[in-house]
Structure formats: C-alpha cells, structure tokens
A and B are shown apart, each in its own frame.
Chain A
Amino acid sequence: MSDTVGCTIEKKLLPTLLLNESKHSRVFIPKQSDGVTEYAVFGKGDTPDLEAGQSRLSPKSFFFPQTETLYAFDYDTIEPSASEEAAEAPVVLFAVRPCDSASFELLDQVFGPENHGYHDPYYEKKRDNTIVVTLACNKPGSTCFCTSVGGDPAGTRGADVLAFDLEDRLYLEGLTTKGKEFLARNGEVLKEAAETDREVANTLASSARESMPAVEYDRATVKKNLDDQFDNPIWEKITNTCIGCGACTYLCPTCHCFDICDEERHYKGRRIRTWDSCQYAQFTKHASGHNPRPTKTERLRQRFMHKFSYTVESVDEVYCVGCGRCVRYCPVNLDIREVLREFSST
C-alpha cells in the first residue's frame, strides 16, 4: 500500500477487524444509549455506531481519567499505581472525531516532557499505548466550529489512522508508523483503495467543511483584544448568566486542570488526581483565605484567556478545538462562539 492511496474496508467486515484487534488490544467504539454517545468496550457481536456523532464526554478521559490513582501507600510503602507501572494491553480508540483527536495533541504538550522537562508517566504510558483511528465528519453538528479554530472535519491532528465513511465502506489512511502498522496487520480485511475512493473522500470532506458555519475568529485579533481588554467591564456582562458550574470545563476536550488529594482509611490510602475546574471558587483560594480570582468574573475570564491568549503566547496553540460541547451543554447557553465574536472586532 502506498502512502498516498489508502485502503478500504467494507462496513460488514468492520467487526472482523475489531475482533482481530481485540485479541491483543482493548478496543473502544462509539455506542449510543438513551441518546448519549459514549466510547464503550468492543465485544463480540458489537458494531460501532458510526452515525452516533460526537460523544457526550470527550475521549480525553482515556489518557486523563476523571480520577486516577497516582500511587497507593500504606504504613511502610508507597507503590506506584497499576496504571503507571503495569504493562497494560494496548488500546484502539475507534472512530474518534477529528476535533477530539486534535485535542490529544494539545494535551500532549501539557503532559509531555516538552513542558518544562517534566514527564507525566501516567498520561504518557496510556498515550503511547493507544492507536487513534479518527473518523472524518461527513455531517458536522450545528454547534461544531472546528474550522474556525484551525481544525477540519477531516483533520489529521492527533490521529494514527484517518477514516472516511463512504456509505458501504470506510476509506482508511495510515498517518503514523503506529497507524500504518495497524493497517498492515489487518491486511486480510482491507482492500487497496481505488483513486476514486480518495476523491470521494475529498469531496465529502470539502462539502462537510462548507456546511460549517464560520465563527469570525482571528487568532491574533482575539488574542490582542483579550489582552487589551483584560479589565474591561464587558467581562462582568458576559459573566451575568454564568452560574459558575464546571460543566464546560469537564466536557471540554482540552481542559486539563487537576487536583491532587489523598484518601486514607485504616493506615492505607492512595494519592489520586482528579479533574478540577478553574470555574470553582476554591480553585485558586490560598490557605490564608486570599483568592486571586475571587468572583465568577475573574474565573470565567481565566477560562477564555487561557484558551485564546495564554496558550497562544506560551505554546503557540489555541486550546479550543471547536467541538461545541460547551456550547451545547452549558446550562445557561453561555456560548463560546459569541464571546469570541465579542473580542473579534478590530
């Protein structure tokens, strides 16, 4: 198989491929229940729901679970947790959406050693151990805006394999060594793609792209405006509706703030890390009682500054992939796209 022409698989053969993989890996596929899409372990007889669209919770939790044991301890010893130490079975994440796989690359920059030289073995081991098969979006959702923040409905960032849904079959391209190996070892259910398959895939991608509403977002302008208007009372107005919950941050694929705390009973315990949110009053509160971000206004501003100014400055990345989860699930419809619009005027 050449690099430019990928391969195809008939949809009815997908379970065979996934079953093959599940012999040596834990395979996760999108499934829908009660109207909620989530990634569930593939078992015999399962078919991935490729129509299911975006998962409610972002797949960041595969690498950065909501709660993770850093190590267990008892009276005498301290033992790194199984997830860090044990050689776990590799993972195949099947049909991740391009926005979410792009978020993995952004998380890599936080948890990886490029960030001031510190490794995060928990994250890194799981990340190294995983093959990400990204499924391009033929029908982007109405709250999706990946193209506005540099993404694409057929984006390859963070993906090992990129797949396109061509109705009766998938068109697949191996992007990384891991991804190419994945395809090579499943050769028996794959066929070399025709030049037309790729063309169809391209057509689907461009029509998906065109169907997406553009949010006026210019990275440099927004950053400048955010920096200049740090003290603008506009923030108070934006914060009016905010109720200060952390739903946006917990659903966001790039939000990665965490807390570390101990749980202990009868001389045994564990140190865990759990998701935390900059939207919570306690997040930055000093032991003295002083809080650098005492009200919702500062906390909400922090969320936007972090994504659209601070990370642009420190790592030249926007920490928003345009998945639209925060738009869709904000209890009070505080819409990130409208905030960007607010800071877009020159």
Chain B
Amino acid sequence: MEDRVEQTSQAIRNEARRLFEADEIDVFIGFESGSLPLSSRPAFLTAEEIAQDPSKIDTLVWDSFCTSNLATYLLRYYANEPNRRKKREKPYPRVGIAVKGCDCRSVYTLAKERQVQRDSLRLVGVPCAGMVDVRKIQEQCADEIVACEEVDDSISITLRNGESTKIDREKALRRSCLECRFPKPENTDSIIDTPARKPGDGGRATLEAFEQKSSDEKWQYFSDELTKCIRCNACRQACPTCWCKECFAEHTDLKWIGVGSDLTDAMVFQITRIYHQAGRCVECDACYSACPMGVDLRTYTNRIAQDVHELFDYLPDFNPETSPPLATFSEADSNDFITDPEQAHE
C-alpha cells in the first residue's frame, strides 16, 4: 500500500489535472518540494504551463511541511494589487487551490470580507494530518539537517555529520495543529480522500496553564518574546487576513507607532495586529512559521480566538453566511467588563 504522503500528493495532482482538463481553472495553487529539507513551498501552476507541459502537475506534493496558509496568495487576484484595479473589466482568474482546514476557513473569512470571490475559486479540500514545526525537529538534532524523508508517521532525518535519525511526526507537530479544532475542510468543491487528525481542544489546556501566570509573569513572557522581534513584517505578510492595503504601522501622516526596534513599538505592532485578527484569525500559525526569529505568536492568536469564542460564541467557520463578530453587535452582549462606580463603592 502506498504511504499517506504519496497517496495524498497523487490525489491532489489528479484533481488539479481534472480541473485543468475540464477548463474549470486558470491557475492552481498547491505546494511543491522546496530547496531545503523540511520545506515545501507554495507552487503556482497556470493553464498555459500545463498545456505546454502536462508533467508539471507532478511537481505538486502534500507532506507535513506545507505550513504556509495558501489563502494569502488569493488576495492578489482580486483587489490587492494596484495593477489589478486598472484591469477590472477583465474577469477574475479562476483559481484552484488546495486547502487545509485552516486555509479553508481563511478563504471563507476573506470571502465574507469581500476580499476574494468564492464563485471564481475551486477549493480542493485536503483533510489535514497536521504540519510540523521545523524548529521542534531541529531541537532534537545535534547537527544541521541535510536531508529528510517522510513516510507515514515518521520522518527520517539525515544530519550533516552523516548520522541519521527517525522522528515521530506526531511529536514534531506545530502547537496549532495539535490543538486544531478544524483539521477537515468543509464546504469545498472537492475533497481529497485522506484521513484528518482528530479535532483538538482549541488550545484550552495550554491556555488554562497560561492563565495561572500573574500579570507580571505574563508581561515578562510577552516582553521576552517580543524582544526577539526584528520588525521584518513576515508575520503580517504571511497572514491571509492581514490584507490592508496600507498597514497602520506604515501610516506616516498619522504615525501610530515608531518604526525602530523599540520594544514597546514592537509590542504595540503585535497587539494591534493580533487585535485586528479578532474573530478573523483561524490560528493557522502562518505568522509563527514565517517568523525568522521564532517569536511565540501562537499563544496570543490562540488567546484572542478563544476570547472571541467565549464572548460572542463565534469561531471563523466554513459558513459564508455568518457575520464576523466585530462587524456586528448584540444588545445582549456582556457588560461585565464595564466599570460601574456604584458597584465599585458598595
């Protein structure tokens, strides 16, 4: 029997091929093997290319290293690029895209916010077995990793010093994947037949442990993490729901934050960025995976998603009809956090 990686990759290739052959799409976005071990990177196949060389389909892969959230790449086909505006008369390209649970929820979030056109998309759902945190693997290795091979549930690693080792995939998964509530995409146009992880608890257990910290301990943790930040904006750029044409951090007319390496500026950047994700963030960890410095953003994206869930009973979903909670309100919303001087003085 073929192993999971090869089977899933093949199924995606077949589906992409079918979409091209049926002339349903102009572009297919998936993953291809990267130039480094433990990396798969976004791949873009165009109908033109495939017509010329159908074997290009075979470059598509699906393994445990497909950490990018591909929904990020959809924005360009709609309004996000200045050039696009001038060519608005042209119909939107029809895009096929392989989506994990998180990618798929991002697509729906973007569709609700009218940043993508659901009609022009062909979502190819890939039930997700979880993606690995390369840092976790590197920590377990004494030397640089020069090659890797994934077979079913283990990853064989070859080190620079010639040694090789086998790593249990499950132990190397990203926190967001271990805790993921929606590994299986829904409301897609087709779905690959491959097993998904069992849904996780959404990080409840980790958050409860975090809640035990005092204010000062929490501050210390936040400070330690943000001290690593170099303000390269990889988190923002990797995030599918960070789609503002001009980020608040780049406003010069009204300068919200300094552009230097001041710690409080880095903090305000991240607080605001994550706050802007309230009710929109799908906790895909694209920001964390993109960060060259390994700043723990997961704790905070997870936290704000939980808060929104608890306050407004909402999680970004696969339903195009629901309203993002911060775009609406209810008379019945909690007033608990409001300071009431009369009560305070009782």
A binds B: yes
Q: Which of B186-194, B256-264, B312-320 contacts A (4 or more CB under 8 A)?
A: B256-264
CB distance from A284 to the nearest CB of B (A): 13
The reply to whether A333 and B39 form a contact with Cβ atoms under 8 Å apart is: yes
The reply to whether A245 and B36 form a contact with Cβ atoms under 8 Å apart is: no
- Cα A180 to Cα B68 in complex, Å, equals 50
CB distance from B284 to the nearest CB of A (A): 13
Taking CB as reference atom, which chain B residue is nearest A287?
A: B252
Chain B residues near A272 (CB-CB < 8 A): 258, 260
Indicate if B135 sits at the interface (CB-CB under 8 A): yes
The reply to whether A332 and B42 form a contact with Cβ atoms under 8 Å apart is: yes
The reply to whether A331 and B135 form a contact with Cβ atoms under 8 Å apart is: no
Contact A335/B44 with A141-B144, A243-B234, A295-B81 known, Cβ cut-off 8 Å: no
Interface size class of B (residues with CB under 8 A): 35 or more
Chain A residues near B42 (CB-CB < 8 A): 240-241, 332
Chain B residues near A277 (CB-CB < 8 A): 232
Q: Which of A153-161, A200-208, A246-254, A300-308 contacts B (4 or more CB under 8 A)?
A: A246-254
The reply to whether A245 and B234 form a contact with Cβ atoms under 8 Å apart is: yes
Chain A residues near B44 (CB-CB < 8 A): 237, 240-241
Counting chain A CB atoms within 10 Å of each CB, the highest count among B35, B68, B139 belongs to B35
The reply to whether A333 and B41 form a contact with Cβ atoms under 8 Å apart is: yes
Within 8 A of B (CB), among A311-325: none
Chain B residues near A292 (CB-CB < 8 A): none
The reply to whether B36 and A57 form a contact with Cβ atoms under 8 Å apart is: no
Counting chain A CB atoms within 10 Å of each CB, the highest count among B41, B231, B237, B252 belongs to B237
Indicate if B52 sits at the interface (CB-CB under 8 A): no
- Cα A204 to Cα B280 in complex, Å, equals 54
Chain A residues near B246 (CB-CB < 8 A): 281-282
The reply to whether B290 and A243 form a contact with Cβ atoms under 8 Å apart is: yes
Chain B residues near A291 (CB-CB < 8 A): 82
The reply to whether A245 and B259 form a contact with Cβ atoms under 8 Å apart is: no
Indicate if A120 sits at the interface (CB-CB under 8 A): no
Contact A333/B230 with A67-B260, A67-B261, A274-B260 known, Cβ cut-off 8 Å: no
The reply to whether B146 and A35 form a contact with Cβ atoms under 8 Å apart is: no
Contact A245/B230 with A35-B135, A261-B259, A272-B260 known, Cβ cut-off 8 Å: no
Q: What 0/1 pattern do residues 284 to 311 of B give for CB contact below 8 A with A?
A: 0000011111100000000000000000
The reply to whether B139 and A331 form a contact with Cβ atoms under 8 Å apart is: no
CB distance from B234 to the nearest CB of A (A): 4
Contact A246/B232 with A35-B138, A56-B293 known, Cβ cut-off 8 Å: yes
Taking CB as reference atom, which chain B residue is nearest A282?
A: B250
Indicate if A125 sits at the interface (CB-CB under 8 A): no
Within 8 A of A (CB), among B211-233: 230-233
Chain B residues near A244 (CB-CB < 8 A): 237
Taking CB as reference atom, which chain A residue is nearest B235?
A: A245
Indicate if A294 sits at the interface (CB-CB under 8 A): yes
Chain A residues near B144 (CB-CB < 8 A): 53, 141-142
Within 8 A of A (CB), among B241-263: 246, 250, 252, 255, 258-262
- Cα A281 to Cα B246 in complex, Å, equals 9
Taking CB as reference atom, which chain B residue is nearest A249?
A: B232
Taking CB as reference atom, which chain B residue is nearest A274?
A: B260
Taking CB as reference atom, which chain A residue is nearest B250?
A: A282
Indicate if A329 sits at the interface (CB-CB under 8 A): yes
Indicate if A139 sits at the interface (CB-CB under 8 A): yes
Q: Pick from A66, A143, A241: contact of B261, CB below 8 A.
A: A66
CB distance from A208 to the nearest CB of B (A): 12
Indicate if B18 sits at the interface (CB-CB under 8 A): no
The reply to whether A333 and B232 form a contact with Cβ atoms under 8 Å apart is: no
- Cα A250 to Cα B261 in complex, Å, equals 12
The reply to whether B230 and A250 form a contact with Cβ atoms under 8 Å apart is: yes
The reply to whether B36 and A143 form a contact with Cβ atoms under 8 Å apart is: yes
Taking CB as reference atom, which chain B residue is nearest A259?
A: B259
Q: Pick from B35, B231, B255, B260: contact of A338, CB below 8 A.
A: B35
- Cα A275 to Cα B232 in complex, Å, equals 9
| 23 pairs, CB–CB < 8 Å, chain A vs chain B | A34-B294, A35-B138, A139-B160, A141-B144, A142-B145, A240-B42, A240-B44, A241-B44, A243-B72, A243-B238, A243-B290, A245-B237, A250-B231, A250-B232, A263-B260, A275-B231, A277-B232, A281-B250, A282-B246, A331-B234, A332-B42, A333-B36, A335-B35
Chain A residues in contact with chain B, CB under 8 A? 34-36, 53, 56-57, 65-67, 139, 141-143, 237, 240-241, 243-247, 249-251, 259, 261, 263, 272, 274-277, 280-282, 291, 294-295, 327-329, 331-335, 337-338
Nearest 8 pairs of A and B residues by beta carbon: A67-B260, A331-B290, A245-B234, A329-B292, A245-B237, A333-B34, A243-B237, A333-B41
Chain B residues in contact with chain A, CB under 8 A? 34-36, 39-44, 68, 72-73, 81-83, 135, 138-139, 144-146, 160, 230-234, 236-238, 246, 250, 252, 255, 258-262, 289-294
